Structure 1
Amino acid sequence: MTKQLVVAIVGATGAVGSQMKEQLIKRNFPIKHIKFLASARSAGKEIEFNDQKYIIEEATPEAFEGVDVAFFSAGGSVSAKLATEAAKRGAVVIDNTSHFRMHPDVPLVVPEVNREDLTKHNGIIANPNCSTIQMVVALQPISEKFGLSKVVVSTYQAVSGSGISAIEELRAQSAEWEKGKNVEAHILPAKSDKKHYPIARNVIPQIDVFTDNGFTYEEMKMINETKKIMHLPELSVAATCVRVPVVSGHSESVYIEVEQDATKEDIFEVLRNAPGVVLQDDITQQEYPMPIFVEGEDPVYVGRIRQDLDNKKGFHLWVVSDNLLKGAALNSVQIAEAMLADNLL
């Protein structure tokens, strides 16, 4: 008989937290009891889960007593304050924020890539950045077969990656454009006190704020997290992250260089059999992944595979996935499922 667990979700009313609820139901995760935790402002409100109503409780250290698994998706400051407290009380924390991702003692896990790292946890496991997850799912089987020396990625990221407010702003701006009204911007490209730009009818080459080296934090997340997850500290990685007027589904143009000789057909074969990947590549029929068709789907879709014209060890891929699912909520639940299957819970 499958073990039944006490589960907590911190941040269940947000875009990712809402998907976590849905994934737990959809995947029939074995729940004995579930708790929904939030700030004092939201405590006392009702939330529905699996056709039952629950009262949201304030997220305090004591609220994690008796919890087996705690999914965190309420922002890095909340994770910084409460994740360690939850772990002290015996909960395994699966944190969807960036707070613990590069901590040397915290595993950063995509189950299809580095499931074995789950055995090294000390109570906290980090869920990677959404754009990183889908890329490493596609790259890991290629790396295992042919080695990997270089990655250059340009992303086309949906506004849902910035939360519900960004989705609402895209819709409002689109409606304003159609009516010929002035478009107001308050959310993108980053939550800072600097300029904001419209996303409707626009493409913004900035996600998160800039670092001293000219890359954004989002780009540095992709660079550093890829090396950590794939256990390739010397891998050459460069990223340019761009926000586009799409509600859900991140797309990525990825150029890679492998270490051993390979053909396009070899890459096709590897990806055709890769866990969590759907190969969608038939240019004779104009078939390739697009965010409008992967929204609500679990896998990572890969297409437009080409061998570079000047470097026979270079390949180009187009990678698309639902950023709220595999990029966030689904991967978090899959981590818990893997831990349960491996007797780590």
Structure 2
Amino acid sequence: MTPKPTLAVVGATGAVGSVMLQMLTHHADVWGEIRLLASPRPSGLPPALDATRAGGSRTASVRGEECEILALSEEALEGVDVALFLVPDEVAARWAPIAATKGAVVVDTSAAFRADPDVPLVVPETNAHAARVRPRGIVASPGCTTLALIVAVGSLHAEFGLDELVVTAQQAASGAGAGQDGAEALRAQLGLVAGHDDLGTHPGDVRRAVGENTGPFPGPLALNVLPWSGTPGADGASSEEERVRDETRRILALPALRVAATCVRVPVVTGHSVSVHARFERPVPLDRAHEILATSPGVVLYDDPAAGDFPTPADVVGTDPAWVGRVRRSMDDERALDFFVCADNLRKGAALNALQIAESVVATL
């Protein structure tokens, strides 16, 4: 009997890593050894709960067993068949190629390789075939905002041909910073503003209450929204907005697709939401759009506003699918639809998509 493949989870102690360990416990048992690895945090960030700090090791539960968390090293990557990288860009950029040279197929959730033409960018529900050709031994998973919308958009594109996409993403705090930094910063800010009944009645009072405790955000997020996410890009766009455009084009194989994206950070702990305006090459009957979305893998259609049925981050957190609602004709244009999508950015937005890629890869080994 062929032994089951060895899986390495690199970044097992982060927010996405914790979700990944839960998923491995409940998904089909296709793995032999599961090796948990962690790396030091970049300097200047809060101390990591990982095995590379002085003072010993940690353990974590996976498949009902306590496993030691090992420091990321070349030795720890020996004998690994598939390596899931759930780490910041700089860690992935250094270590993913090393894992690949040792024979592992790397599935990386960072942005380090998403634009590399020799690294396929994969969403299994949409372009699973792309993972079969991997010249560098690495498969990239898109960003959490792209993953929130792409399965729904891709299913409609397959029938009607996508021509133009305009999206506004409301990004949760847990999508910012490394590990749990964003979520922890929001919780700290909410504590600072609690009990101030007059906040929001005078200019700058929220900012004064939060002070310097903004964490990975460019300003206070509690009781506020921030129309900026990422780093400066070209023509006034942010890096997050450019990623949504570039990743959507790559996944759908539409290099000239017109995409306008605005990313807004909102005071939600977990769960990205995206308001979508999609225009297609052919007319889109509304009942047919509902039918496609209702039957697409990875999508749940939840669309009865009169009954109060539409997706919100508070409702979808902890679930795997992309939830779609508010599907409607756009400005009397028979070729355009508007709809609203919500997804857990730590699950389908990161851990689940990577695990789906890994499971599809291992089926071919």
* Residue type at the aligned position of 2:257: L
Query: What do residues 79-137 of structure 1 show as CA deviations (whole Å, max 9, x unaligned)?
Result: 11111110111111000100000100101000000000011113100010011012110
CA RMSD of aligned residues (A): 1.6
Instruction: Pick the aligned partner of 2:51 from 32, 42, 46.
Output: 42
In the other structure, the counterpart of 2:5 is: 5
Do 2:61 and 2:67's aligned partners in 1 also have CA atoms closer than 8 Å? Answer: yes
Do 1:188 and 1:198's aligned partners in 2 also have CA atoms closer than 8 Å? Answer: no
In 1: Cα distance, 2:214 partner to 2:265 partner: 15
Q: Percent identity?
A: 42
Counterpart mapping for 1:114-129 below 5 A: 114-122=127-135, 123-129=137-143
> Which has the larger displacement, 120-129 or 162-171?
162-171
Do 1:294 and 1:320's aligned partners in 2 also have CA atoms closer than 8 Å? Answer: yes
Runs of 4+ in 1 over 6 A off after TM superposition: none
Instruction: Pick the aligned partner of 1:139 from 153, 161, 166.
Output: 153
In the other structure, the counterpart of 1:244 is: 266
Do 1:3 and 1:30's aligned partners in 2 also have CA atoms closer than 8 Å? Answer: no
User: Does 1:286 pair with 2:308?
Assistant: yes
Instruction: Pick the aligned partner of 2:98 from 55, 75, 85.
Output: 85
User: Does 1:183 pair with 2:183?
Assistant: no
The TM-score with structure 1 as length reference comes to 0.94
User: 1:38, CA displacement in angstroms?
Assistant: 2.1
Query: What do residues 184-242 of structure 1 show as CA deviations (whole Å, max 9, x unaligned)?
Result: 333233xxxxxx31111010011111113211100000000000001111111110001
Counterpart mapping for 1:192-231 below 5 A: 196-231=218-253
User: Does 1:107 pair with 2:120?
Assistant: yes
User: 1:310, CA displacement in angstroms?
Assistant: 4.0
Structure 1 unpaired stretches of 5+: 190-195
In the other structure, the counterpart of 1:259 is: 281
User: Does 1:164 pair with 2:192?
Assistant: no
Change (3 A) 1:314 1:132: same
Do 2:82 and 2:104's aligned partners in 1 also have CA atoms closer than 8 Å? Answer: yes
User: 1:7, CA displacement in angstroms?
Assistant: 1.1
Query: What do residues 112-171 of structure 1 show as CA deviations (whole Å, max 9, x unaligned)?
Result: 000000111131000100110121100111111111100000001111111412111211
In 2: Cα distance, 1:310 partner to 1:31 partner: 51
What SS class does the counterpart of residue 87 from structure 2 fall into?
Answer: coil
In 1: Cα distance, 2:59 partner to 2:311 partner: 35
In 1: Cα distance, 2:29 partner to 2:317 partner: 22
In the other structure, the counterpart of 2:17 is: 17
The TM-score with structure 2 as length reference comes to 0.89
In 1: Cα distance, 2:5 partner to 2:187 partner: 39
